[in-house]
Amino acid sequence: MLPPPVDLACPAAQPDSPVTVEVLAAGFVPSRWERATNSGRKGPLRLPSLVGLVHHPDGTVLVDTGIGEATRRGEYPGWPLQALFHPELAPAGSIAAQVPEPPRLVVLTHLHYDHVSGLLDLPPTTVWMDRRDWWAYGPGAPGVPARRIADRHAVEPLDLDTPGVAGRALGRPAVDVFGDGAITVLSTPGHTPGSVSVLVQAADGPWLFIGDTFWLAEQLDGANRPWLTRLVVDSDPAELRASQAWTRWLAGHCPDLRVVPAHEPRWAEGAP
């Protein structure tokens, strides 16, 4: 394991926090274990698209939005993605049907289709992502309905890559969402150019939503995506290695930290 950055320490518990967290499954992608992980497990696997639902006194924040109704209507993700993987809506419906109130803010861990498609079902809101992902997958790029997202929502790309512009947290460029330390967006690039993770300081302890830095909980312990899968889905192997080492350090050293990989099946069945 790589040594941690010098300023990395476990997030401290904040038992007086008014924030609570739920994990919802908003869609599934049928796959196989041997395609998703190199741990030796084989057989059919349904990868959930997990969404973090964060209840903050200033409003509800969603981390990702899963697979939405445009998939049921056959509008997205379109060819060739539609032929490569067959996204399904969750039995409970899109994220818009599952949340108790319209979100004040949506933070996208990255702009792959299975994380953004639920945006088209939500009422107009503010949407944050790293600007490097908006450049890579914004209007004009295939697979992501970026133009429709921008028509519907207030898209606010974050500058996490210019030194000195963002703050820092856990050794990473970071933005404090409400200025109270409760919800922090952290730059963890590699799976895509602008992948982010989201730290939440909730009453029941700290949570870390890591998007697709890892897909599965077993990958926090040493397994990884198989090399052929990595070749297809990951954009920058060197940056991803650094983000994965950072994630594993936190998962391995911080027993109170709940780390949520965006496609871990056990989170779709309740907490692991």
Q: Kindly list the residues in this chain that would bind Zn ion in the complex (CB under 5 A).
A: 114, 212
- List, in sequence order, every beta strand (DSSP E) within the chain: 20-32, 44-56, 59-63, 105-107, 126-130, 154-158, 167-169, 172-176, 183-187, 196-202, 205-209, 258-260
> d(Cα 259, Cα 210) in Å, to the nearest integer?
7
CB of 209 to Zn ion, least distance (A): 12
Closer to Zn ion by Cβ: residue 110 or 172: 110
Closer to Zn ion by Cβ: residue 103 or 211: 211
Q: Which of 96, 155, 159, 146 is nearest to 126 (CA)?
A: 155
CB of 64 to Zn ion, least distance (A): 8
Closer to Zn ion by Cβ: residue 133 or 212: 212
Closer to Zn ion by Cβ: residue 131 or 225: 225
Q: Which of 48, 214, 222 is nearest to 118 (CA)?
A: 48
Closer to Zn ion by Cβ: residue 19 or 36: 36
CB of 169 to Zn ion, least distance (A): 23
CB of 187 to Zn ion, least distance (A): 18
Q: Which residue is nearest to Zn ion (CB)?
A: 212
β-pairing, 126-130 with 20-32?
A: unpaired
CB of 212 to Zn ion, least distance (A): 4
